[in-house]
Chain A
Amino acid sequence: MMDFKELDPVLHSQLRLAIMSVLISVKEAEFTFLKEKTNATAGNLSVQINKLKDAEYIEVIKQFKENYPQTICKITPKGITAFEEYVKSIQSYLNTGK
């Protein structure tokens, strides 16, 4: 098992990494879309989204559209940098292990 001490602890979690991977591929996504893609429960997803928001990796916009609440998530520039760094760290580790 590799040593993950240097990896970003905010991103090194299955669900948070899954959320960030979806958001890196789109401009913005609604909560229901993220729920469908990650197969997570609404409660767990909500908690992890808040953690990413607290780390300023994503922006969460809550609004009403046609009387329905809508939660939109969007990756921030800080989130993009963190994600890229995370991928680089893992890739360099895997390359060193070869």
Chain B
Amino acid sequence: MSEVLVLVDEIDGEVKKVTFELLTAAREIGEPAAVVVAAPGTAAKVKESLAAYGAAKVYVAESDDVANYLVTPKVDVLANLVGAKSPAAVLIPATAEGKEIAGRLAVRTGSGLLIEAIGVESSGGDVVGVQSIFGGAFTVKAKSTRGTPVVTVRPGGVEAVQAQGAAAEETVEVPAVDAAKATTVTGREPVVGGDRPELTEASIVVSGGRGVGSAEKFEVVEKLADALGAAVGASRAAVDSGYYPAQFQVGQTGKTVSPQLYVALGISGAIQHRAGMQTSKTIVAVNKDAEAPIFEIADFGVVGDLFAVAPRLTDEVAKRKG
């Protein structure tokens, strides 16, 4: 069975959930080989969890250059591995950085780039990427016609399933950086993640819309989110009105999420918003307006005042969790 390279997404030795999703997807089409391109000492920290999700191999490319230059060291390592190992495909998380790595890798290796896949399949010897486009209005299956398919996989697109892998280590080189073409990283200010999960990685998302009415009142959305262990999202209308910061916007011009449960509070459900959340497994909506389009796609809807319904739900959830 041929190898499928999976670029490991980690922060300070802590593996991001999307990596496990990619390892799970990789098992559908071949033998997962995790690629760690990171600061020295990282592989030792992440190896065990990679093995737990079925990594048969772990390619270790460690160098201080990885943190000092933007994107290109990871492209260099993957390009060398594509040349040396002829993998069936390369799977990369569809994050801001991942999309850039994938794009450059496709250019450099002359390969087809399949973006934002929600799954991969093997069909007649080809690797097929399954994509959900225009906010879930179409499901598209596509393949690369040349080179090694480079696939970016959307966080939350695949459900991570554990499987034991050997995680056999092999050290590979991080090629020297060409300073004229490279971008130097002179400093970093990581987002201080609160206690809430990341929007695109969360299995439950609670979002507020125009109906929330003010920035202060968004507290009612946050309280329900915290009771459920959920991420907080906002509609474009809420963001444009200044109720909530733009990085939490769900919709066509914001983030696309597909959690197990999406709770929409005071959101009318314009196409713009639905495009970012309608692939959620279960949708619950609360809105005063019985005609709100959000009810057309909600599995469970309550016509009522969110300020009455949400706090009650928050209490019920808290009670159940004890």
- A is bound by B: no
Q: Tell me the B residues contacting A by CB distance below 8 Å.
A: none
Q: Tell me the A residues contacting B by CB distance below 8 Å.
A: none
